[in-house]
């Protein structure tokens, strides 16, 4: 491990909580160089919804490499990209009746967000954005300007302007009508709100603390945007690709965002890839107006295509995710009820779940106790007060139970309950 401490920047983070050297990984398990096995309730921060190295994707990936399929393609037409596009239309867009143009903006979620913001500004001719409290959209300057966390914002080194925060769902525990403030400042010609180009929203805030927005709130937001001629951008980077059950997390609300950001699990194999989905009337880009060297990561297109075929040809994965999510919720409710010595709140949707501790420090301690038991989880929320679980959607029931038992035990050990 000396090499990391000697040579890698102080910016490194996860390795500080998990000071081991990982080597291989399959499904929901990682193995370190000493042969120890770890159960993964973290899934690459949501980039590994199908687990590590899923065989149905690994095979075509290796075949593609072996036959010297093009690796790096920028935005050239390639067979692999064509097949991805066809499959994406067939398995994702068409069955849901969605009509989107697909942009490959560079292979990260932040790239997708940066593209979405630029496009929304171009379409509307306005520069202002609305984001939500506790939003997370990325670490590049544009994405950071719509991100909530003050430590991360502080890293910008320039004032982050052009975005005004609005309260996310449940910000006042239901005591204030939805969008009261937002509607008022939009209607009031004297509010000093800069007229917004777009709203950017996550349907469940992952980094923000596993905060799910209610269906009616999402519908209200879409309706507000329509009434006020504001573009609606859903950042589905972490919650899309099945994390909450359906392929797109916003499907449950029956809304159709103007722009959708997709990344993390879209390649299915942890390979860098991102998409921006754009309603056809808003595809107002000029050629090359946004680009990026790695926007044509063809091995990722290959695994993405295989993943869509494997997991999205029927609704089995969606149903299984919902069932597993309910099982986690049930187990978490029991933990919350059993924990007498600390105040614990159960949060989440699908397989994005959290236990929020009134005493914020406990969340990190529970994660540490779980790591001692070889279970990987991280915290989230503005004060790292939420123990966050994002297991692979493909986790087996046994693995799920094993992990839930470790969590229960870790909570007990930390809280003494």
Q: Residues 6 or more apart from 393 whose CB is under 8 A from it?
A: 49, 50, 242, 243, 317, 320, 321, 324, 351
User: Which of 91, 243, 264, 365 touches a second copy by CB under 8 A?
Assistant: 264
Interface residue with a second copy among 28, 263, 379, 410 (CB under 8 A) is 263
Q: Which of residues 232-251 bind a second copy (CB under 8 A)?
A: 237
Phi-psi region of 254 (alpha: psi -120 to 50; beta: other; left: phi over 0): left
The answer to whether residue 22 forms part of the interface with a second copy (CB under 8 A) is yes
Is residue 94 close enough to count as binding a second copy by CB under 8 A?
no
Cα separation, 196 vs 191, whole angstroms:
13
Nearest to 325 by CA among 252, 222, 380, 385: 252
50 in contact with a second copy (CB under 8 A)? no
By the 8 A CB rule, do 347 and 380 touch? no
131 binds a second copy (CB under 8 A): yes
Cα–Cα distance for residue pair 134/386, rounded to 1 Å: 13
322 touching a second copy, by CB under 8 A: no
Report the alpha-carbon distance of residue 126 to residue 267 in Å, rounded: 33
Q: Which stretch binds a second copy (CB under 8 A): 219-227, 285-293, 310-318, 406-414?
A: 285-293
Window 69-88: residues binding a second copy (CB under 8 A)? 69-79, 81-82, 85-86, 88
Q: Residue from 117, 241, 366, 393 that binds a second copy (CB under 8 A)?
A: 117
Among 138, 206, 245, 350, binds a second copy (CB under 8 A): 138
Phi, psi of 157 (to 5 degrees): 75, -5
Q: Which of 35, 97, 150, 314 binds a second copy (CB under 8 A)?
A: 150
Confirm or reject binding of residue 364 to a second copy (CB under 8 A): no
Could you tell me the smallest distance in angstroms from the CB atom of residue 319 to a second copy? 26
- CB neighbours of 69 closer than 8 A, spacing ≥ 6? 79, 80, 298, 299, 302
* Chosen residue from 118, 214, 228, 373 binding a second copy by CB under 8 A: 118
**Shortest distance in whole angstroms from residue 32 CB to a second copy:** 9
**Interacting residue with a second copy among 60, 142, 246, 350 (CB under 8 A):** 142
Give the one residue of 36, 37, 95, 161 binding a second copy; rule: CB under 8 A: 161
The two tokens of residue 367 are 């994660």
Please pick, from the candidates 35, 67, 97, 229, the single residue that binds a second copy as defined by CB under 8 A.
Answer: 67
Question: Do residues 265 and 46 touch, judged by C-beta distance below 8 A?
Answer: yes
Determine which residue in the list 149, 170, 345, 417 makes contact with a second copy, applying CB under 8 A. Answer: 149
Q: What is the end-to-end Cα distance of the chain in Å, rounded?
A: 36
- Contact between 62 and a second copy by CB under 8 A: the answer reads yes
Contact between 269 and 392 (Cβ < 8 Å): no
Check binding of 368 to a second copy (CB under 8 A).
Answer: no
Q: Is 141 in the site for a second copy (CB under 8 A)?
A: yes
CB 135 within 8 A of CB 201: yes
Q: Quick one: which of 39, 92, 116, 163 contacts a second copy (CB under 8 A)? A: 163
Q: Which of 36, 37, 293, 313 binds a second copy (CB under 8 A)?
A: 293
Angstrom CA distances, 225 to 216, 228, 239, 291, stand at 14, 5, 21, 28
Among 56, 170, 215, 294, binds a second copy (CB under 8 A): 294
Length of the chain: 417
Residue pair 264/241 in contact (Cβ under 8 Å)? The answer is yes
Closest contact distance (angstroms) between CB of 165 and a second copy is: 4
What is the smallest separation between the CB atom of 200 and a second copy, expressed in angstroms?
11
* 273, HSE (Cβ side, Cα atoms, 13 Å): 27
Interaction with a second copy in 187-216: which residues (CB under 8 A)? 188-195, 197, 208-209
Among 107, 220, 245, 348, binds a second copy (CB under 8 A): 107
CB of residue 333 to a second copy, shortest distance in Å: 25
Q: Which residue's CB is nearer to a second copy, number 108 or number 339?
A: 108
Residue 30 pairs in a beta bridge with 25, 38
Pairing between β-strand 101-103 and β-strand 196-201 as defined by DSSP bridges? unpaired
Output 48 or 233, the one with its CB closest to a second copy.
48
Is residue 30 involved in binding a second copy (CB under 8 A)? yes
């Amino acid at each position: 491990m000396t090499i990391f401490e000697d040579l890698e920047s102080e910016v490194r983070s996860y390795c500080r909580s998990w000071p081991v050297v990982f080597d291989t990984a399959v499904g929901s398990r990682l193995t370190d160089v000493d042969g120890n096995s770890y159960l993964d309730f973290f899934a690459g921060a949501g980039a590994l919804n199908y687990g590590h190295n899923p065989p149905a994707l690994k095979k075509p990936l290796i075949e593609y490499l072996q036959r010297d399929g093009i690796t790096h393609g920028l935005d050239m037409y390639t067979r692999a990209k064509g097949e991805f596009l066809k499959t994406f239309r067939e398995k994702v867009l068409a069955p849901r009746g969605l009509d989107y143009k697909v942009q490959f903006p560079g292979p990260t979620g932040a790239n997708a967000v940066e593209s979405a913001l630029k496009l929304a500004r171009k379409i509307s001719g306005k520069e202002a954005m609305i984001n939500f409290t506790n939003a997370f959209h990325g670490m590049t300057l544009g994405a950071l300007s719509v991100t909530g966390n003050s430590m991360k914002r502080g890293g910008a080194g320039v004032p982050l302007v052009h975005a005004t925060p609005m309260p996310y769902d449940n910000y006042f525990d239901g005591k204030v009508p939805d969008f009261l403030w937002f509607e008022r400042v939009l209607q009031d010609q004297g509010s000093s709100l800069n007229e917004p180009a777009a709203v950017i929203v996550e349907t469940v805030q992952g980094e923000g603390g596993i905060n799910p927005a209610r269906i009616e709130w999402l519908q209200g937001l879409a309706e507000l945007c329509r009434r006020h001629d504001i573009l609606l951008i859903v950042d589905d980077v972490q919650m899309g690709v099945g994390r909450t059950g359906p392929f797109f997390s916003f499907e449950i609300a029956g809304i159709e965002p103007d722009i959708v950001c997709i990344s993390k699990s879209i390649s299915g194999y942890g390979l860098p890839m991102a998409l921006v989905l754009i309603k056809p009337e808003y595809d107002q880009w000029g050629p090359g107006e946004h680009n990026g060297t790695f926007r044509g990561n063809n091995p990722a297109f290959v695994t993405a295509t295989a993943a869509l075929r494997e997991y999205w040809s029927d609704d089995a994965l969606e149903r299984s995710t919902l069932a597993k999510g309910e099982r986690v919720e049930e187990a978490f409710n029991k933990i919350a009820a059993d924990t007498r010595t600390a105040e614990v709140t159960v949060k989440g949707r699908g397989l994005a779940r959290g236990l929020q501790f009134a005493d914020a420090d406990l969340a990190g301690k529970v994660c540490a106790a779980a790591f001692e038991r070889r279970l990987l989880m991280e915290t989230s929320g503005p004060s790292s007060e939420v123990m966050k679980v994002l297991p692979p959607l493909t986790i087996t029931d046994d693995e799920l139970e094993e992990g839930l038992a470790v969590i229960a035990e870790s909570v007990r050990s930390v809280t003494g309950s």
